[in-house]
C-alpha cells in the first residue's frame, strides 16, 4: 500500500465507516453548491457607497488612490503620480488590450515596455480583475495579458481599476470569476495564480516595528476610473 492509500484509508476509517458511497455523494454535492457562509454586512451597499468603502479601506491599508472620471485620462494620471513622487518614468506594463488602448502616446515622457516585469524594473502597471470593498483588496489574475511579476517585483506597483469592478465581499468576486471562467464540469477554470493584494508589502519581524516594502512593492497606487 502506498503512503497515500494508507493515509486515505485511515481517514475513511475514522470518518466514513461503512457509508463511503453516500459520503462521496455528499462531498460532491457540497463542493458543487458553492454555498456562501456568513458575509459581513458592512460591504453590502449601494454601488457608490461600496466604491467609497473600497477607497477608505485601501487607504487604510496604506495604498494610495486617485479617482478619475475618464479612462482616457489614465496615462496622464499615472505620469502625474510618478512625477509627484519623484519616481522613474520607465514603466513595465501589462500587455492587456484595454489598458494598451488608453492613449499612451500622449505621454511621451513615459517610456513603456510591455510584458512581464524583470528584477530591474522600478514601476509596474497592470489591471485588476475585481476589487473587494470590505477590506480594500485588489483581485489580480495571472495570464498572458497580466503577468504576476508586474505586481510583485517593482518597488512601485500601479493597478488600474474600473469602478464597475468593485464588489462588496470576496464571495461576490468568486461568483464573477466562476461566471467568466466556467470550466469543465462546472468547476471554475482557475488561472495559475489569483492574487488578493491589500496595500503594499510590509514586515514587522524586527522588534514588531511595522515597515513597508519587505519583499514586494514599497508603494501600491490604485487608479480608479469611473467610466
- Per rule CB under 8 A, is residue 7 in the interface with other proteins? yes
Name the one range near other proteins by CB under 8 A: 77-85, 103-111, 159-167, 210-218: 210-218
Judge contact between 66 and 224, C-beta under 8 A: yes
- DSSP per-residue string spanning 84-123: HTT--SEEEE---HHHHTT-GGG-TT-EEEESS--TT-SE
- Per rule CB under 8 A, is residue 77 in the interface with other proteins? no
Name the one range near other proteins by CB under 8 A: 44-52, 100-108, 122-130, 207-215: 207-215
Nearest to 129 by CA among 102, 165, 153: 165
- Per rule CB under 8 A, is residue 204 in the interface with other proteins? yes
- Per rule CB under 8 A, is residue 182 in the interface with other proteins? no
**CA torsion through residues 175, 44, 158, 110, sign:** positive
How far apart (Å, rounded) are the C-alpha atoms in residues 146 and 160?
12
Residue with cell 509596474: 124
Query: Which CB, 31 or 49, lies closer to other proteins?
Result: 31
Query: Which CB, 105 or 205, lies closer to other proteins?
Result: 205
Q: How far is the CB of 137 from other proteins (least distance, A)?
A: 6
Nearest to 222 by CA among 144, 145, 125: 125
User: Under rule CB under 8 A, which residues in 29-48 are in contact with other proteins?
Assistant: 30-31, 33-38, 40
Three-state DSSP state, 17: coil
Name the one range near other proteins by CB under 8 A: 3-11, 45-53, 70-78, 80-88: 3-11
**Cell triple for 18:** 461503512
Element (H, E) at 57: helix 47-60
Nearest to 128 by CA among 201, 54, 62: 54
Q: How far is the CB of 205 from other proteins (least distance, A)?
A: 4
Name the one range near other proteins by CB under 8 A: 45-53, 74-82, 83-91, 214-222: 214-222
One symbol per residue from 133 to 172: x for binding other proteins (CB under 8 A), - otherwise; what is it? -xxxx----xxx--xxx--xx---------------xxx-
- Per rule CB under 8 A, is residue 113 in the interface with other proteins? no
How far apart (Å, rounded) are the C-alpha atoms in residues 181 and 184?
10
Rule CB under 8 A: which residues touch other proteins?
A: 3, 7, 10-11, 13-15, 27, 30-31, 33-38, 40, 57, 60-61, 115-117, 119, 134-137, 142-144, 147-149, 152-153, 169-171, 174, 187-188, 190-209, 211, 213-217
Amino acid at each position: 500500500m502506498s503512503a497515500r492509500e494508507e493515509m486515505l484509508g485511515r481517514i475513511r476509517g475514522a470518518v466514513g465507516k461503512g457509508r463511503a458511497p453516500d459520503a462521496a455523494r455528499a462531498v460532491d454535492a457540497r463542493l458543487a453548491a458553492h454555498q456562501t457562509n456568513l458575509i459581513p454586512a458592512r460591504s453590502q451597499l449601494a454601488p457608490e457607497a461600496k466604491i467609497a468603502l473600497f477607497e477608505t479601506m485601501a487607504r487604510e491599508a496604506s495604498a494610495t488612490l486617485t479617482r478619475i472620471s475618464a479612462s482616457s485620462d489614465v496615462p496622464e494620471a499615472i505620469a502625474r503620480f510618478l512625477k509627484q513622487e519623484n519616481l522613474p518614468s520607465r514603466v513595465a506594463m501589462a500587455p492587456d488590450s484595454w489598458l494598451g488602448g488608453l492613449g499612451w502616446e500622449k505621454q511621451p515622457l513615459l517610456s513603456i515596455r510591455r510584458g512581464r516585469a524583470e528584477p530591474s524594473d522600478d514601476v509596474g502597471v497592470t489591471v485588476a480583475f475585481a476589487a473587494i470593498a470590505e477590506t480594500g483588496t485588489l483581485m489580480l489574475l495571472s495570464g498572458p495579458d497580466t503577468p504576476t511579476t508586474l505586481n510583485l517585483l517593482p518597488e512601485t506597483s500601479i493597478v488600474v481599476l474600473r469602478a464597475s469592478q468593485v464588489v462588496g465581499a470576496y464571495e461576490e468576486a468568486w461568483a464573477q470569476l466562476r461566471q467568466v471562467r466556467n470550466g469543465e464540469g462546472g468547476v471554475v477554470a482557475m488561472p495559475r495564480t489569483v492574487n488578493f493584494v491589500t496595500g503594499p508589502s510590509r514586515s514587522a519581524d524586527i522588534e514588531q516595528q511595522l515597515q513597508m516594502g519587505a519583499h514586494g512593492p514599497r508603494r501600491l497606487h490604485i487608479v480608479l476610473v469611473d467610466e
